Structures are given as structure tokens and as C-alpha cells.
A = this chain, B = another copy of it.
Amino acid sequence: MRVLIVEDDETLADGLSVGLRLQGFTPELVTCCADAREALAQGGFSAVVLDLMLPDGSGLDLLAGLRAGGDRLPVLLLTALDQVRDRIGGLDAGADDYLGKPFDLGEVSARLRAIIRRAEGRASALLEWNGLRLDPSRMSGEMEGRELRFSRREFSVLRALIETPGVIVEKDRLEERLYGWQEGVESNAVEVHVHKLRGKLGAGFIETVRGVGYRLAEPRP
């Protein structure tokens, strides 16, 4: 997940960058509004971590410009200014969030995930592969005219697989998806869910790659 970090304090920027990378994000770093605009214009980001105080202007202006242009990209604001936080506090937009310095890295990534998830719910893009269509906002799927229902865990696994169809997803990564990269399970829970999914999707839809993980099968020509 690519995340744009807009932060001019070098120490902070480095910390954020390393921290977010450890959490599975792919951070990209810019240090001023101008560079940020340029990067955003290229697209491909899932979210922005934005400092308020920047050398060439306020992050608020950057954000306002973004919104005025109709861009709904999730934005996490970093602010050292308590009064600003107070002014805005509690009135923050549903899609965005604010964090006052100093902050803890765990919280940054947690909130990032939260706002990204929300934004995805808004977009409600259909995921599709090999005759299966998934609707994340409904946690349901459709295959050959039949509607498929999934439990939360089942859906998480399937979604992780269908986001990169055909690509192998390591079992560890799937576990992360389910349990949030903090505590793993000590059992074959993932396998169980895969098994249930196979029951619903038919054998052969999910392939096993021994010793590595799972992937969705390529369509039969």
C-alpha cells in the first residue's frame, strides 16, 4: 500500500518512513507542498500523511486544494499545534483523522489503516476474477448467478487473494490480514478458512503452493 508522507522534519520523516515500512506500507517521502502536489498528481497512493507546517506553506492549503479538486484520498494530519487540534478537534471529517505530536508509530499505522479501510468502503470497487465477483461493501460475492455469503474471516482471506489474482500470497501474510500483524495464531486457522472457501467456490479455485502460501488459479482457457 503506497502512502505519501509529507514532512519536512528529517528525523520525524525518517522515523515515519521506517515505521510504516515495517507495518507493511510502502511509504514515499516528500518535504514540501510543491513536491507533494507533483507526487499526488501521479496517483497510485492509498493515503497521505500530512504535516501541517511545511516550508512552502501549510498542509491545510494543500489538503484544501486536493478536496476542491474532488480528490477524496484519505489524509492523516500531523499537527504539533495543540490549538489547531482543538479548533478542529471533534469536527474532523469522517474520512480523515488528526494526530498530535508526539505520536506513537503504532497509532499512526492503526489510524492509517482505519481511514484507508473507510475510503475503500466508500469506493466499493468490485473485485473480479475468473467468474467470481466480490463486493467488499457487502461482504458478498457472486458466481455463475449464485450469490455467495462469507463470514468475516473467510472474506478477509478471499479478498487478500483476489486483490492480486494469480499471485502467491504467503500464509504469513494472510495471517497478518486476519489478526493484524501483532498476534498470530498457533494453529492452522488459515488452512481451515481456505478449506471453507473451497467448499463455497469449488475445488480448484484456490491453489496451494506448498511451503509458501495460496493463490487463485488462472482461468482455464
* Residues of A that sit less than 8 Å from B by CB: 11, 14-16, 18-19, 21-24, 26, 60, 63-64, 66-70, 87-96, 102, 104-107, 109-110, 121, 124, 137-139, 151-152, 164, 166-168, 176, 180-182, 209-212, 215
A138 touches B106 (CB 8 A): no
Given known A87-B14, A90-B102, A152-B212, contact A22–B124 (CB-CB < 8 A)? no
Q: Quickly give the copy total for this chain.
A: 2
Q: Which residues of B contact A215 (CB under 8 A)?
A: 138
Q: Which residues of B contact A121 (CB under 8 A)?
A: 167
A181 touches B137 (CB 8 A): no
Q: Which residues of B contact A60 (CB under 8 A)?
A: 18, 21-22
- A26: shortest Cβ distance to chain B, in Å? 8
Given known A139-B168, A166-B138, A167-B124, contact A22–B96 (CB-CB < 8 A)? yes
A21-B60, A22-B63 given; 5 more Cβ-contact pairs under 8 Å? A22-B67, A26-B68, A91-B104, A94-B105, A151-B211
- Once the chains are docked, how many angstroms separate the CA of A99 from the CA of B141? 36
Q: Which residues of B contact A67 (CB under 8 A)?
A: 21-24
- Once the chains are docked, how many angstroms separate the CA of A123 from the CA of B25? 21
- Once the chains are docked, how many angstroms separate the CA of A69 from the CA of B22? 11
A93 touches B70 (CB 8 A): no
